[in-house]
Structure 1
């Protein structure tokens, strides 16, 4: 007789434990379902998506302008062609086999004129750029020409006259201008894309 109440008490305790466990399982399943619906769990094979607005390489025989038009973003989106992420940006790599791609050339309209860093002389240069990417790079150059000119002129004013008088100095200046232009494009549009810079006129007086 004395054992009956104890048995009844034990059974009630087991029911309470089972109810708690069921509640935890259902609560966990509900939370997991909520997270899945919110996109917290994504397939492992789904990596970062390629930005559709990034300029693409132009194979020989292709039309750089047609490719840019085909990839153009809807009106009103950010960037030169829309969708670019302004800021630090990324470099667009030069092609491994340049002979397979079409180079596009663009002449900057006005010359760059600046005093030299160590003399009363001044340099006046005209430049053209080349790119293996579609016309969105050229359109970016046109859109952000004022920012590009400002940065190139500031860099040019820091160059000593003696250095620019040598072929090596001129080659070094070409590389510096290319870096400056790509940096401006990356800041403004998210991407660079200028492959090379050419002097179409170079005068030091």
Structure 2
């Protein structure tokens, strides 16, 4: 009997031991497999791209259509008309986007390059973007003023006499303002610079 009991016990131990090995093996495979899947997901191979995926949001000033409300424009006081959009004053022709102008409060006066002549101009800048561009021009007016004076001082006298030269100066001044805004705010947004007065002495 004891021989029979020993024989019966031994196979049971083998079965139990084999079952235990299978369970441990399955857990190990799940651990390795799960770790591998986790690694693939983290690396961005499987799933939503993992931590390396960066979603960039465009937070630059947006173009504002005529009649559309500008969320950054100041609220108009009673009797002054609309603050955000141009409203009923918009025409049907031209661009579909409204234009806002910023008038620099003081004149710009500078010598011209390699000349005794002086140029005195009063400037206005335009944008079709939201009102943040105007707010940025006000905020960085000192830096813009300094950069514009340097650009004017680097202008030859021939450029302030001819219409083509004045056009080139307008483009350079526009680029100068956009450069200052881009350096300080990450975006320019000025469409053009206009001369309100232009005196060469």
Q: TM-score, normalised by structure 1?
A: 0.66
1:137–1:193 CA contact under 8 A, matched in 2: yes
Q: Which residue of 1 aligns with 2:104?
A: 108
The question of whether the paired residues in 2 share the 8 Å contact of 1:131 and 1:196 is answered with yes
Runs of 4+ in 1 over 6 A off after TM superposition: none
Q: Which consecutive residues of structure 1, in runs of 5 or more, have no partner in the other structure? A: 1-14, 71-96
Q: CA separation in 2, counterparts of 1:39 and 1:128?
A: 52
Which has the greater radius of gyration?
A: 2
- Secondary structure at the counterpart of residue 196 of structure 2: strand
Q: How does 1:88-103 map to 2 (within 5 A)?
A: 99-103=95-99
TM-score w.r.t. structure 2 length? Answer: 0.68
Q: What does 1:18-167 align with in structure 2 at a 5 Å threshold?
A: 19=25, 23=28, 26-30=31-35, 32-33=37-38, 36=41, 40=44, 42=48, 48-51=55-58, 53-64=59-70, 67-68=71-72, 99-167=95-163
Aligned-residue offset at 1:25 = 5.7
Q: Shift of the alpha carbon at 1:27?
A: 3.2
Return 5+ residue gaps in structure 2 as ranges. Answer: 1-20, 75-92
RMSD: 3.2
Aligned twin of 1:78: none
Map Cα deviations across residues 78-134 of structure 1 (whole Å, 9 max, x no partner): xxxxxxxxxxxxxxxxxxx96211111111111111111111111111110111111
In the alignment, the residues of structure 1 paired with residue 37 and residue 94 of structure 2 have an alpha-carbon distance, to the nearest angstrom, of 51
Which SS does the other structure have where 1:68 is aligned? Answer: coil
Structure 1 residues 24 and 112: CA distance shift in structure 2, 3 A = farther
Count of paired positions: 159
CA contact (8 A) 1:55 1:68 kept: no
For the 8 Å contact 2:73–2:130, the answer to whether it is kept is no
Per-residue CA distance 1:47-81 (angstroms, 9 max, x = gap): 84433x321111111233xx2269xxxxxxxxxxx
